[in-house]
Amino acid sequence: MWKPVQCSEGDLILENGKAVDHIYVIIKGSIKLLEPTGDARLLSKGAMFGEHCLIRTTPSSVSVYAEGDALLSSIHKDQFLQSFETSPKAARKVVKSLLKRMWEMDHPNSESEQMEQQTEESLQESLETRTFDPNTTHGRIMQMTARSSQEESPRLTGISSRAKEELNGGELTVEQFPFHICRKPSTPGPLALMRNYLLLEDDAPYQVSQKHCRLISDGKKIVIIDDKSHFGTLVDGETIGRKFSKQQLALSPGRHRIILGSSKHALYQFEIDIPDTH
């Protein structure tokens, strides 16, 4: 469904004021976005443009030209939406690109790091609150993105009563790495607001260490590391930690049991489901 588009220097790809019905990705070379004001900016390999046609029918607000020889890949918006049904993980990348573009328009002088953070926060807020209409094109994209997020992210489930209480009796989707599991400090401060921290209540004599364990990912596999906790971390019956032969274990796709401490009667016992996409 994606088709190659070979461009030469100065070729007009999109025209200001004209309808847009294709999404483009730059495979090789670069393109120039020319504003009506005369301002211009370059996009290079890996960049996407034209994706705004997925959520609105307004014409292009810029003209797009090839900057030298360039190779693009394009797809019609209807075919792109159909591809979400079989490959929903593509939705997250597109939605992030749309949110990033809107953030750039509203905050033209913002730093790239701030923009990335705000884009991720906006996306996550929409996914968590489900504040989108599934009857609209934008809503369909967000719905598929939510499904993709649930399918591809590890899910942590409470097994013991205390673990269930901390997760409000349900599941927690791990979406940011490294993901830390540790004892809740007396004054948690900003840690309580961070999505990649699970802070657990514990009283003396403590079973959960201030830095107990964490999950890391390189995009291909997920590894659990014991952060030199006092009692170690029991993973599928094997204890890892500073007092044991191993301090970390790779988690293969499937379900794993994680117990904070070396005892099977520990307060905090969880199961984690690792998707086969890692």
Domain ranges in the chain are 1-84, 87-152, 154-274
Task: Give pLDDT, residue 143.
Answer: 54
pTM of structure: 0.50
The 3-state DSSP class for residue 186 equals coil
Class (C level, CATH) for 154-274: mainly beta
Q: What is the DSSP letter of 241?
A: S
Task: Give pLDDT, residue 219.
Answer: 74
CATH topology of domain 1-84: Jelly Rolls (2.60.120)
Of the candidates 203, 213, 209, 211, the one whose C-alpha atom is nearest the C-alpha of residue 234 is 213
Of the candidates 154, 268, 137, 270, the one whose C-alpha atom is nearest the C-alpha of residue 202 is 268
Q: What are the residue ranges in the chain where pLDDT is below 50?
A: 115, 118-120, 122-123, 125-132, 278
Task: Give pLDDT, residue 119.
Answer: 44
Task: Enumerate helices (H) and strands (E) in the chain, giving the number of each.
Answer: 5, 17
Task: Give pLDDT, residue 111.
Answer: 54
Task: Give pLDDT, residue 117.
Answer: 53
Task: Give pLDDT, residue 99.
Answer: 54
Q: Which helix (H) or strand (E) holds 66?
A: strand 63-76
Task: Give pLDDT, residue 108.
Answer: 55
Task: Give pLDDT, residue 67.
Answer: 94
Total Cβ atoms within 10 A of residue 53: 20
Task: Give pLDDT, residue 127.
Answer: 43
